[in-house]
């Protein structure tokens, strides 16, 4: 299973394509993320596919070697900011709620219910 707490992941080549950075942001503590990473299947396979070309990477199936490679190279960010609140789980739920609300707005039988004053804040937000 893929890791469901990752907001984004990127691979960056630099130093005239001689170095590669793998950068992620995720929800929760580092140790929990690493445990998810090492048992993730698809994410670990992608990491292995890319890093098999990196010097010092011994790769799968030797999970201890992969752990040593990652933990030996890890660096904490000096600063991090993001422009949206919430965990990946909360953001995905908000997207599902928004999609469901859009279906309600598009439904021809919803006009009467949508005139209720309690729904005005939702309608104002949908219009913006």
pLDDT band per the 50, 70, 90 thresholds, residue 93: very high
The residues near 50 (Cβ < 8 Å, ≥ 6 apart) are 11, 20, 22
The pLDDT of residue 127: 87
Confidence at residue 100, expressed as pLDDT on a 0 to 100 scale:
94
Judge contact between 6 and 88, C-beta under 8 A.
yes
Distance CA 55, CA 23 (A): 18
Query: What per-residue confidence (pLDDT) applies to 25?
Result: 92
Run of H or E residues at 22: strand 19-26
Q: What confidence category does residue 126 fall into, taking pLDDT thresholds of 50, 70 and 90?
A: confident
Residues 66 and 18: their CA atoms lie apart, in Å, by 20
Residue 76 exposure: Cα atoms within 13 Å on the Cβ side: 4
Calculate the average pLDDT of the chain: 91
């Amino acid at each position: 299973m893929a890791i469901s707490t990752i907001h984004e992941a990127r691979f960056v080549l630099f130093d005239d394509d001689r170095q590669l950075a793998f950068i992620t942001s995720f929800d929760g503590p580092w140790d929990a993320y690493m445990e998810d990473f090492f048992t993730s299947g698809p994410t670990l396979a992608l990491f292995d596919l890319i890093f098999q070309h990196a010097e010092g990477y011994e790769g799968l199936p030797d999970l201890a070697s992969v752990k040593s490679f990652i933990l030996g190279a890890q660096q904490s960010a000096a600063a991090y900011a993001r422009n949206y609140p919430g965990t990946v789980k909360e953001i995905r739920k908000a997207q599902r709620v928004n999609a469901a609300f859009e279906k309600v707005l598009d439904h021809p039988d919803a006009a009467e219910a949508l005139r209720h004053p309690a729904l005005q804040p939702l309608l104002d937000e949908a219009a913006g």
